[in-house]
Structure 1
Amino acid sequence: MKHILFVGSGAFVGAILRYGMTLIPIAYMTSFMKTMLINIIGAFLLSIITRFIEKNMLTQEMFLLLGTGVCGGFTTFSTFSLEIIQLIDDRHYIIAFLYAILSVVLSLFAIILGRIILQ
């Protein structure tokens, strides 16, 4: 139960941060550009949090709070990006490529399918 509270608390903070970032008036930035910026920031933060875990500088509970919770609430794209890099680090190049391409293509297809179903 404690782990659920760590993840949930972090997700709450991440979601509020994401919403807050969309409210910042940044010149010449459309909403999709802000989303892209959020995803890039989230990927960067998740990579730092993961390195701290690897170096035993953060506990598993802190990873649940910051990595799974905050970064997950801020963006799920950061986890996707990290997993691709981990596959590449493990020399699973074909799997990394397929994962990246299929995730994007199938997610776009799922959105199109959802729109068609709910027309």
Structure 2
Amino acid sequence: MKAFLLVGFGGLAGSMCRYATSLLFTRAQSDFAWGTWIANVLGCLLIGLIYGLSEKFQWLTPEWRLFLTTGFCGGYTTFSAFAFENLKLLESGNYWTFSIYSVTSFAIGLLAVAAGVFLTKM
């Protein structure tokens, strides 16, 4: 139960920061989704820093890592978790799994969004 609360509170904070980032960087006259792009890049940088520093200095308890990575970064952007998982696959030499996971996540995710939109138009 404690882990669920840590993830939940971290996710709450991350989601609020995500919304603030979108408000700050989204431009009405731009076709490019700057708010989303910046949140994805910052989330990836943040999860990398949290992982790297906690591995190097052992300064985070497992609870804080859960709160910050799964909770906050997950609430801020799920892309950071996706990128981190892919990095771990590459680091462990699982190139085939990395390729399948990356391509299918993007392609099937895009198709699922399109299917959802299509279903609403029926």
Instruction: Identify whether the pair has TM-score above 0.5, normalized to the shorter chain.
Output: yes
Equivalent residues of 1:53, 1:60 under 8 A apart: no
Q: 1:25 to 1:42 in 2, by over 3 A?
A: closer
Alpha-carbon RMSD across the aligned residues, in angstroms, is 1.7
Q: 1:98 to 1:61 in 2, by over 3 A?
A: same
> Structure 1 unaligned runs (5+)?
none
Match of 1:52 in 2: 53
When the two structures are aligned, how many residues end up with a matched partner? 119
Match of 1:33 in 2: 34
Cα distance between partner residues in 2 of 1:37 and 1:25: 8
> How far does the alpha carbon of each residue in 1:87-114 deviate from its partner, in whole angstroms, 9 at most, with x for none?
0000111211111111000000001111
Matches within 5 A, 1:16-95: 16-25=16-25, 32-55=33-56, 56-95=58-97
* Aligned amino acid, residue 18 of structure 1: R
Cα distance between partner residues in 1 of 2:42 and 2:55: 20
Equivalent residues of 1:39, 1:77 under 8 A apart: yes
Deviation beyond 6 Å, 4+ runs, structure 1: none
* Aligned amino acid, residue 46 of structure 2: L
> Structure 2 unaligned runs (5+)?
none
Sequence identity (%): 34
Cα distance between partner residues in 2 of 1:82 and 1:18: 18
